[in-house]
Chains A and B, each alone.
Chain A
Amino acid sequence: MVKLTQRLGGLVLRFAAFCAALGAVIAMITSRERSSFFVISLVAKYSDLAAFKYFVIANAIVTVYSFLVLFLPKESLLWKFVVVLDLMVTMLLTSSLSAAVAVAQVGKRGNANAGWLPICGQVPRFCDQITGALIAGLVALVLYVFLLIFSIHHVVDPFLLRKS
Chain B
Amino acid sequence: MAREKIVVAGGSTKSWKLLLGLRIFAFMATLAAAIVMSLNKETKTLVVATIGTLPIKATLTAKFQDTPAFVFFVIANVMVSFHNLLMIVLQIFSRKLEYKGVRLLSIAILDMLNATLVSAAANAAVFVAELGKNGNKHAKWNKVCDRFATYCDHGAGALIAAFAGVLLMLLVSSVSISRLLINSKHLSTTTTVV
Binding site for B on A (CB under 8 A): 42, 44, 48-51, 54, 80, 83-84, 87-88, 90-91, 94-99, 101-103, 105-107, 111, 113-117, 119, 145, 148-149, 152, 155-157, 159-161, 163-164
Contact = CB atoms under 8 A, between A and B. Distances in A.
B17 to A, nearest CB: 21
Interface stretch (B26-34, B84-92, B169-177): B169-177
B94 interface: no
A114 B174 contact: no
From A90, A99, A164, residue with most partner B Cβ within 10 Å: A99
Contacts of B60: 113
Contacts of B142: 114-116
B127 interface: yes
A95 B120 contact: yes
Contacts of B124: 95, 98-99, 101-102
A149 to B, nearest CB: 7
B116 interface: yes
Nearest to A87: B112
Nearest to B76: A98
Interface of B: 60-62, 66-69, 72, 100-102, 105, 108-109, 112-113, 115-117, 119-128, 130-132, 136, 138-142, 144, 166, 170, 173-174, 177, 180-181, 183-184, 187-188, 191
Contacts of B130: 50
19 contacts: A48-B136, A49-B136, A49-B138, A49-B139, A50-B127, A84-B177, A87-B173, A94-B116, A95-B120, A98-B120, A101-B124, A102-B69, A102-B125, A102-B128, A106-B67, A106-B128, A106-B131, A116-B142, A152-B177
B102 A164 contact: yes
B184 A157 contact: yes
A120 to B, nearest CB: 10
Nearest to A119: B139
Given A83-B177, A103-B131, A160-B183, 4 more contacts: A90-B112, A94-B116, A94-B120, A163-B101
Contact of A152 (B122, B141, B166, B180): B180
A132 B191 CA distance: 50
Given A90-B116, A103-B127, A161-B105, A48 B184 contact: no
Given A80-B181, A101-B124, A116 B141 contact: yes
A84 B126 contact: no
From A91, A96, A116, residue with most partner B Cβ within 10 Å: A91
Contacts of B177: 83-84, 87, 152
A48 to B, nearest CB: 4
A117 B173 contact: no
Nearest 3 Cβ contacts at the A-B interface: A95-B123, A98-B120, A102-B124
B115 A157 contact: no
Nearest to A91: B119
B58 to A, nearest CB: 12
A156 B62 contact: no
Contacts of B121: 98
A156 B181 contact: yes
B115 A91 contact: yes
